[in-house]
Amino acid sequence: MPSAQLVGIGRVVETLKTEFPDITISKIRFLETEGLVSPERAPSGYRKYSLADIDRLRYILRVQRDQYLPLKVIREHLEMMDAGQRPPAAEGPPPPPAPAPAPAGPAGAPAQRAPRTVRLTRRELIRESGLPEATLIELERQQMVLPRRNSMYYGRDALMICVVARRLQDYGMDTRHMRAIRQAAEHEVGLIEQGAQPLSRRNGDDGQAIAELANLVVHAHAALVQTILEH
C-alpha cells in the first residue's frame, strides 16, 4: 500500500472515536503488544496504520464492546480470518447491567424505568459472566461477590462485579486490583452514610437519603475519573 494511505496512531484514534468514544492511544498500543494488530514502522520508528489495520482494530473493539469476548478468543477469531475462514458467531455473556439512571433534573424529570431483576444461581453467574470459578471463589472469599441477603441467588450487582473482574483480566489486572476498587468504594460508602445522617433525622427515611446520595456519588465518581484521564 502506498505510504500516502498509511496514517499515524493519532489519526486512527480520530477515525475510530465516533464509534468507540473511549478509544485511546494507550488502548491501541496495548492491542499491539498483545499481537492483535501489527502496524508498519516508519524509518523514524513511528507506527503507521493501513486501512486493513484500522478495520482489524474496529473488529476487535466491536466484539469486545458488543460480545464481551476475551482477548484469547478474539485472537483465535483473527487467526481464522487471516486464514480466510469465517469466525463462529459468538455467544458470549450478556453486557453488564446499565448504570444507575442520572438524577432527575431541576424540573423533576420522570424517573427511568427500573431494570429487570437479575436472579442467578452460582453456576449461572459463572456462565453469564464468563469468570473463571477460581476467580469467583477468591472474590467470594473477600466478600466482593455475595448472594442476595437471605437468598442463595446472585443479583445484578454480583453479575456486574464478575463481568468487570473478568474483563480486567484482559488488561493483566486481578483480584488485587479489585481490592483497590473495593477500598475506594468503602471510602465513598463512609461519605454517603455520613451525609445521610442529617437527612434521615429530618425526613425519617434513611433508605431514601442513602439511595439519593449514592446516586450522586456514583455519577460524580465516574465524571471525575473521566476528567482526570483526559487531563
Per-residue pLDDT tens digits for 126-176: 888 888 888 888 898 888 998 888 888 888 888 889 988 988 888 888 888
Any idea what DSSP says for residue 155?
-
Domain boundaries, given as residue ranges, for the chain: 3-82, 93-100+115-173, 175-231
- Answer yes or no: is pLDDT of 92 > 70: no
Contact 147, 159 (CB under 8 A): no
pLDDT, residue 225, reads 77
pLDDT, residue 230, reads 73
What type of residue is 194?
Answer: Q
pLDDT, residue 231, reads 67
Which stretch of 17-21, 36-40, 189-193 has the lowest confidence by average pLDDT?
A: 189-193
42 Cβ contact partners less than 8 Å away, ≥ 6 residues apart: 48
Residue at grid coordinates 456462565: 127
CA distance 138 to 131: 11
Which stretch of 81-95, 105-119, 175-189, 196-210 has the lowest confidence by average pLDDT?
A: 105-119
* Residue range 5-12: mean pLDDT, rounded: 89
CATH number, domain 3-82, options 2.60.120.260, 1.10.1660.10, 1.10.10.10, 3.10.450.50: 1.10.1660.10
Question: Three-class SS of residue 154?
Answer: strand
Compute φ and ψ for 12, nearest 5 degrees. Answer: -65, -45
Buried (b) or exposed (e) across 126-152, using 16+ Cβ within 10 A?
bebbbbeeebbebbeeeebbebeeeee
* pLDDT grade for 13, boundaries at 50, 70 and 90: very high
- Answer yes or no: is pLDDT of 57 > 90: yes
**Share of residues in the chain with pLDDT > 70 (%):** 81
Contact 147, 153 (CB under 8 A): yes
Contact 65, 20 (CB under 8 A): yes
Tens of pLDDT, residues 170-196: 888 888 888 888 888 888 888 887 877
Q: Comparing 3 with 56, which gets the higher pLDDT?
A: 56
* Alpha carbon separation from 61 to 19, 52, 57, 150, 155 (Å, rounded): 9, 14, 6, 40, 28
Q: Which CATH class is domain 93-100+115-173?
A: mainly alpha
* pLDDT grade for 47, boundaries at 50, 70 and 90: confident
* pLDDT grade for 202, boundaries at 50, 70 and 90: low
Compute φ and ψ for 92, nearest 5 degrees. Answer: -75, 175
Tens of pLDDT, residues 215-230: 788 778 777 877 787 7
* Residue range 189-209: mean pLDDT, rounded: 69
- Answer yes or no: is pLDDT of 94 > 50: no
Domain 3-82 and domain 93-100+115-173 have a common topology: yes
Mean pLDDT for the chain? 79
